[in-house]
Amino acid sequence: MFHKEGHKIILVTLIIVVAAFLLTDSFVTIPWLSTLLMIVFLMFLILILQFFRNPKRFTHRNADVVVSPVDGKVVVIEEVFEKEYFNEKRLQVSVFMSPINVHVTRHPIGGKVLFSKYHKGKYLVAWHPKASEENERTTVVVENPTYGKVLYRQIAGALAKRIVNYAKVDDTVLQGEDSGFIKFGSRVDLFLPLGTNIKVELNQKVRGGETIIAEK
């Protein structure tokens, strides 16, 4: 299954690769070079298909847990001052996605969307300390009875050129359902209340919609 954000890109890539195969077969007369080029074109198509894959995830919805919004590796667990929405200290957990990770963003908790905003910005590498404030990004705040207000931020990386965010203010969202997509390399920051019981460690690999980030 492929994410809807990739349908157009996959179709265009397929057309280009088929055309490249035909041109290579017609005009490249050196057998080994023809084979090499076809392998390169095929690998490019496979990479695009892999990037836009949307595997089914089984989220056991539970208001007492926060699940990972994305696949990737935990790169930050620290207390920070969040100044866009809360203007107070929060516990930040960040997950970095490489280009080969699934890039679907999922709601880490269920509840009501209180805030949803898109910011234009730079394309610093996603692990850069200033990426959270200076890169292209979207910020979403969802409130539920257990954790109160939880903020999560999609951040574009050096390769990402478009962030898609489905969350709209006053929406009621379900834990684990699609909340957006980031194209080609990125990061998601979670901002949780101080004292939250974090269940992951630095450098731990997580799966969106399934791995428990925090638990009451």
List residues with catalytic annotation.
186
Q: Count how many Cα atoms sit within 13 Å of the Cα of residue 34 in the half-sphere of its side chain.
A: 11
CB 203 within 8 A of CB 27: no
CB 213 within 8 A of CB 206: yes
What is the phi/psi pair of residue 11, to 5°?
-65, -45
For residues 170 and 176, give the distance between their C-alpha atoms in angstroms, rounded to a whole number.
18
CB 174 within 8 A of CB 42: no
